[in-house]
Chains A and B, each alone.
Chain A
Amino acid sequence: MNQAVENLLQRFGEAITEWTQFSPNELRLTVAASSWQEIAQYLRDEPLWRMDYPADLTVWDTGNEFGVYLRLWSSVYNHNAIVLTSISREQPHIASLTAIYPGVDWHEREMYDMYGVIFEGHPNLKRILLPDDWEGFPFRKDYVAEPSGNPLHGPQPVN
């Protein structure tokens, strides 16, 4: 993995703000949001990486910014990689990875549904879990979970 990491750091330079290697086959990268798509593409296609399995993609809200988390696995080398980045809460835009990993399609839709993060280039970015007419993004820390905000639609109480 060492040679691969060296190549990666050389290739992207300052776009990778930090990296940690936990174990011989586990790596965590923190990258700039602008090179998010490029790095994912590189990790998938580079012969020394071959990260062909998207295990997870999620978002969390720290209160100041959104963190985006992508976990990849290589079926060839049995390597794990965690790629992290952060985007601003006011302008939550990040490039979509659906063209590289079709499997993250629903993950990105879910994160749009829950946090309102816009994945640019996603072919079908709409709500997936909540009803289409839901107001707000419930997993944001400042969401007010009052039932009056999103009442039960359709049938009214019988009594």
Chain B
Amino acid sequence: MGVKERLEQGIIRVPGGTILVAKLADLMAWARKSSMWSLTFGLSCCAIEMMATAASRYDLDRFGMFFRATPRQADVMIVAGWVSVKMAPFIKRLYEQMPEPKYVIAMGGCASAGGPYRDSITIVKGVDQFVPVDVYVYGCPPRPENLILGILKLQERIREEHRAEKNGLPRPVREPIIIPETGATG
């Protein structure tokens, strides 16, 4: 198979060297998928689990995830915790400040649907009321493994979106990905 045919399938590595040959679009998608930088943005309990995911044992760096301190450099926003009416406008603003393409992970019950604060007077019942959510990770709070699963699913989605783009198909409809609760919660 010649280089040209192989190029159709994506990225190839030239044997014996550190050279990659790829179409620019492929390369972009590959980079986009494997270096999702996340916005450092913790709200409550889930933020502690998010920190634990980034720390020694779970080591989020393995997936190219890296916490950035500004929305201008972030690709994915992990909403980790409950969102109050007072906080919601700031989250919306942060989302708007992020460059395209951007993704949102709603981590935990509160960010997904209000969680235990379903009947609270000040808590917004789900962050999807004002920003589009790609992945819902259930749990109260979710275990780090579940968050990682959510991130991997999101990476798959980014690849699929790119494939469709390459083949001239319309962009797939963004159905929300739901990561169910497994085992004991975090």
The secondary structure that dominates the A interface is loop
- Which of the segments B39-47, B121-129, B145-153, B163-171 contacts the partner chain? B121-129
B128: which A residues are within 8 A, CB to CB?
158
Give, as a whole number of angstroms, the nearest-CB distance from B84 to chain A: 9
**Quick check: is A47 within 8 A (CB to CB) of the other chain?**
no
- Decide if A138 touches B92 in the complex (CB within 8 Å): no
- Decide if B132 touches A158 in the complex (CB within 8 Å): yes
- Decide if B121 touches A145 in the complex (CB within 8 Å): yes
A138: which B residues are within 8 A, CB to CB?
121
Give, as a whole number of angstroms, the nearest-CB distance from B119 to chain A: 8
A147: which B residues are within 8 A, CB to CB?
121
Contact with B along A131-159 (1 / 0, CB 8 A): 10000001000000101001011111110
Contact with B along A58-91 (1 / 0, CB 8 A): 0000000000000000000000000000000000
Segment 76-121 of B: residues with Cβ below 8 Å from A: 85-86, 88-89, 92, 119, 121
B132: which A residues are within 8 A, CB to CB?
158
Give A94 to B129 CA distance when docked, in angstroms: 41
Give A147 to B86 CA distance when docked, in angstroms: 14
Number of A residues whose C-beta is below 8 Å from B? Answer: 13
Number of B residues whose C-beta is below 8 Å from A? Answer: 14
Give A138 to B85 CA distance when docked, in angstroms: 14
**Quick check: is B131 within 8 A (CB to CB) of the other chain?**
yes
With A130-B122, A145-B121 as given contacts, are A158 and B131 in contact (CB-CB < 8 Å)?
yes
- Decide if A155 touches B122 in the complex (CB within 8 Å): no
Binding site for B on A (CB under 8 A): 130-131, 138, 145, 147, 150, 152-158
A-B pairs with beta carbons under 8 Å apart, 9 shown: A145-B121, A147-B121, A152-B88, A154-B88, A155-B89, A155-B131, A157-B130, A158-B131, A158-B132
